[in-house]
Amino acid sequence: MNGRSGLFKFFLFLFLFVIILLQFLSMIQSDRLYKRLDTIIRRLENAPTTRTAQPQQEPKISEAKNLPMAEVPGDDGDWLVWRLSAEPRTLNTISDERDVYTTYITGGSIFERLLEYDWDEVELKPWLAESYELSKDGLEMTVRLRDGVCFSDGVPMTADDIIFTYRTIMNPGVDAAVQRTIYSTFKDVIKIDERTVKFVFTEVLWKTFEAVGLFEVFPQHIYDFNDPAEFNKHRSNPVGSGPYEFERWDVGQQVVLKRNENYWGYKPKLKKVVFRFILNDAAALQALRAGEIDFTEPEPEQYSEMKSNKEFTARFRAMSYWQPGVPFFYIAWNETTPFFADKRVRLAMTHIIDREAIVKHLLSGEAMITTGPFYIFGSQYDPNIKPWPYDSERAKQLLDEAGWIDHDGDGIRDKDGVKFSFRLAFATGRVFYEQLAKLFKDTASTVGVEVIADPYEWSVFTQKYRKHDFDALAIGSGGTVEFDPYQYFHSSQIAGGGDNCTSYNNLQADALIDVARRTLDPEKRYPLYHRFHRLIHEDQPFTFLYIRPEWRFLDKRFENVIEHKLGLNPNEWYVPRDKQRYK
């Protein structure tokens, strides 16, 4: 017994010793990591020397006496028939994982947010909130709700609804993993009184304030649930505080919204908004011309063909505008393959993609070559960085320098017995990518590189992206008003199928991203993003192809159609009584 007890004690001590040793080693490792990071940050000119930047400003108090949107002039009545190219699976914006079609229907019409971007100044301003105040350390934000806000069923909105919405999103059983990421810096939301809540954050990030703004308030009395699965299944009959309320959903056909006659703000003039689901682009254009729909998003070819058709433009507005958040398109180079680990090779690839020809011939000139992921007209984007030109001679030189030489004379370069023959993955369904692959294949062959087009059905494509199982892939991503490059380019996002799908690993980039996202003062933040922009321009983890404007066709009977910096706001439109089509 004694012998066994001694053995037991020995193993217990050994176990404790190992744990303490591991803890000690991990502390040293952690210290080393911080030291390295600090060294890099110090090397960066004008960069703050502390890792976690504190708010560089006095507590911010913002108050809204008037709404950012003015009262709409013009006659009351008529409907807007808006074409969607797919049917959303739900109108519950929490459990939709940000389906763009759900957002089209409910955003700004049914559900409203605490803060909204001003349409022209593109700045977050109070909306459902009357005012907000940021604490000095930047870790607390107190929001006071506007008085007199009711949901469309007449029930007043209170602090409890804000807290309910937050708790619902954070409930692990609710299908809202993406949103939970957006709110990952939220520690809690506390009720102060019936109209006041306090958001408490774990760290200071500029995105945190955008996240407060993105908070769509759900009424507790409608959406309260016993089981999260019950909430996930609540797909129809959305109730919010917005200027429109849900009327009906004809499955496969349309969703109809009617004006919320008891809306707390300025009421829109249009009585109904009908979202018609038309999957076929050609059919949608014909439906527009036949007067069955009023508003649609055309394909590039349709836009460039119809905008110069006088008969068409006499009846319809053909609009092209650059709104913040327009998607950017790129080719990602997987640095774990033998081809793209060397940045000279990635740069060579950029030199043999004729982006001017792509914009001119494949996009009818209706796009711009971009050099980074930021909004091209925004403050994050450095306009001094010029796109690498199409230059096959420079590409040959770079490939030679990187050791990719045609040793066996078969017309394809090789290195260490590996031929420079790689697969360019893209999703099927868009003709653009097929054309891009062909064009790239042709230009690459002139420098001795073989490109094999590798189209995949979307579900397989997403799996390949998540597993980082590709050589190169062509894709487009939705941008935002201000873009955080963390998930795409930070080295911490490589493992576990993260969004850094190219395995781009640059400590300098990591440091810039880390510091910039913790810098609240835009005047100090933008130069950091400019430096990051220049860094990825040199490193080329992605070849940024182009950014394109939004295109819309709209029936000319609608008036007060303003192209804001943020895009179009249908809540401002009206139809003169003599031109109204629907009663």
Partner 1 sequence: MTIYIIRRFLLMIPTLAGITIVVFAISRLAPGDPVSLSLGPGGALDAQRAADVRAARMHLYGLDKPVYVQYATWLGRVVRFNFGDSIKHHRPVIDLIKERLPITLTLNLISFIIIYAISIPMGILSAVGRKKFIDRISSVMLLMLWSLPSMWVGQMLIGYLCGPPLNWFPSAGLSSNDAEQFPFFLWLSDRLWHLVLPVFCLTYAGFAYLTKLVRAGMLDNLRADYVRTARAKGLSNWAVIFRHAFRNSIIPVITIMATLLPAMFGGSIIIERIFSVSGMGLLAFEAVTTRDYNVVMGVATIAGFLNLIGLLLADIAYAMVDPRISFESVE
- Pairing verdict, β 542-547 and 316-321: unpaired
464/42 Cα distance (integer angstroms): 38
Q: For partner 1, which residue of 69, 105, 205, 274 counts as binding (CB under 8 A)?
A: 274
3-state secondary structure 466-508: HHCCCCEEEEEECCCCCCCCHHHHCHHHCHHHCCCCCCCCCHH
CB of 292 to partner 1, least distance (A): 6
Please report whether residue 495 would count as binding partner 1 according to CB under 8 A. yes
- Pick the stretch among 44-52, 144-152, 213-221, 460-468 that binds partner 1 (CB under 8 A): 460-468
CB 99 within 8 A of CB 89: yes
Is the distance from CB of 96 to CB of 88 less than 8 angstroms? yes
**Which window, 21-29, 155-163, 275-283, 414-422, contacts partner 1 (CB under 8 A)?**
275-283
Under rule CB under 8 A, residue 285 binds partner 1: yes
Shortest distance, position 490 Cβ to partner 1, whole Å: 9
User: What region, left, alpha or beta, does residue 334 occupy, with left being phi > 0 and alpha being psi -120 to 50 degrees?
Assistant: beta
| Count of residues that interact with partner 1, criterion CB under 8 A | 66
Q: Which stretch binds partner 1 (CB under 8 A): 107-115, 272-280, 317-325, 561-569?
A: 272-280
Minimum CB–partner distance for residue 180 and partner 1 (Å):
7
Smallest distance from partner 1 to CB 60, Å: 27
- Residue 431 binds partner 1, judged by CB under 8 A: no
- Name which position in 50, 56, 280, 336 contacts partner 1 (CB under 8 A): 280
Q: Which is nearer to partner 1, 23 or 459 (CB)?
A: 459
Instruction: Give me the least distance between CB of 179 and partner 1, in Å please.
Output: 9
Q: How far is the CB of 357 from partner 1 (least distance, A)?
A: 26
Q: Which of 60, 180, 207, 430 binds partner 1 (CB under 8 A)?
A: 180
With both helix axes pointing from N to C terminus, report the angle between 343-351 and 522-539 in degrees, rounded to the nearest 10: 90
The bridge status of strand 140-145 relative to strand 186-193 is: unpaired
241 vs 500, beta carbon nearer partner 1: 500
CA–CA gap between residue 295 and residue 87 (Å, rounded): 16
Using CB under 8 A as the binding rule, whether residue 494 contacts partner 1 is answered as: yes
Q: Which of 233, 344, 430, 565 binds partner 1 (CB under 8 A)?
A: 233
Dig out the tokens for 544 from the structure: 């940024």
Q: Give 317 or 464: the residue with its C-beta nearer to partner 1.
A: 464
- β-pair partners for 405: 414
State the Cα–Cα distance between residues 118 and 581, nearest whole angstrom. 31
Stretch that binds partner 1, among 89-97, 117-125, 145-153, 159-167 (CB under 8 A): 89-97
Distance between first and last Cα of the chain? 94
* Residue pair 257/110 in contact by the 8 Å Cβ criterion: yes
Stretch that binds partner 1, among 82-90, 141-149, 186-194, 392-400 (CB under 8 A): 82-90
State how far Cα 527 lies from the chain centre. Answer: 22
**CA separation for the pair 317, 307 (Å, rounded):** 8
Distance in Å, CB of 105 to partner 1, minimum: 15
Residue 2: helix, strand or coil by DSSP? helix
Please give the C-alpha separations between residue 376 and each of 365, 436, 538, in angstroms, as whole numbers: 16, 22, 18
Q: How many CB atoms lie within 10 A of CB 447?
A: 22
Q: Figure out which of the listed residues 53, 81, 345, 451 binds partner 1, where binding follows CB under 8 A.
A: 81
Contact yes or no for 549/579 (Cβ under 8 A): no
DSSP 8-state class, residue 557: T
Under a CB-based contact definition with an 8 Å cutoff, are residues 264 and 250 in contact?
no
- If one counts every other C-beta atom within 10 angstroms of the C-beta of residue 36, the result is 12
Q: Is residue 282 near partner 1 by the rule CB under 8 A?
A: yes
Q: Which is nearer to partner 1, 92 or 443 (CB)?
A: 92
- Of the residues 45, 290, 314, 417, which one makes contact with partner 1 according to CB under 8 A: 290
Question: Interface with partner 1 includes 168 (CB under 8 A)?
Answer: no
Q: Which is nearer to partner 1, 195 or 490 (CB)?
A: 490
Binding site for partner 1 (CB under 8 A): 79, 81, 87, 89-90, 95, 97-98, 172, 175, 177-178, 180-181, 184, 229, 232-233, 235, 251-254, 274, 276-280, 282-287, 289-290, 292, 457-463, 465-467, 475, 477-478, 486-488, 492-501, 582-583
